[in-house]
Structure 1
Amino acid sequence: MLAETICSAVSAAGLGIAAVTAYRKRFLTATRIAAYALVPVGLVLTGVVKWVSDIAFKPSVWLGFGLLGVAWLLFMITRAVERRGGGSRKERRAAARAARGEAVEPAASAPSLGAGSSPEAARTRGKQGKQSGSAGTGEDFSDIEAILKKHGI
């Protein structure tokens, strides 16, 4: 009964403020205030206020909300632990094996063919390179390969 009285008083005050605002020729604002002022009375007439007040004053309902909060907290904690790399030993070992098992493609360390070249042209260039004795390109990539191996890539 008290909640209904409070809602009625809030609506009456809001409608009064809307009337004063309309008197000042601010009709759009007055209409918006009147709409907000009618919401509490509408909630009382639909029975929502009684339902909410019944929920708010029952200890069993608050216990239920508390349990839902604890469940939500536990879900969030487990998600945070999973994101940080926690989990079981089996999961960590499986992830480590999968990381080690991913091999780099064998030809990945070879220099690219360049834009618009065909494999046949690359073969002929490779034969010419062997004949001319250009061993310098292999040394350039050996440094890069050493760095990649150092980092486990």
Structure 2
Amino acid sequence: MIKQLTDPRTANALAHDLHALSGKLKRRLREQASSGDLTPSQTSVLGHLDRNGPTTVTALARMEGVRSQSMGATVAALETAGLVKGSPDPNDGRQTILSLTPACVALIRTGRAARTEWLLKTIQTKFTPQEQDQLAVAVKLLNRLVET
């Protein structure tokens, strides 16, 4: 067990600061590779399909905590934009399996590369080698924070 070395007020302030910082970093990364006119729901669906692979509208709705009808509208917009395609489920022809189109996969890959490039340049230009070492230690600590 790790002994608490920081008083609760300091830990509370650290928690608030870390939360605010994570939001700022997320916004800055989004700026580097804009998802265009996609809504947050559409972006979330693309993220699910990218991370978890093809699935059904019903499964996506469950993951997002929305009704299937609402998810159907989100998916329809993504299909119209050429980012998602549907194909019949080989095990149940009544269902449609949704997957990312090659164009969407390329868009995601390009966006990730842009965000990584921004991070790389920013780290190299704003931090000394010693600070980069400190940042590497901080990243290890942050990984521990999210590994539950």
- Scaled by the length of structure 2, the TM-score of the pair is 0.29
Q: Which of the pair is proportionally richer in helix?
A: 1
Q: Which of the pair is proportionally richer in strand?
A: 2
- Scaled by the length of structure 1, the TM-score of the pair is 0.28
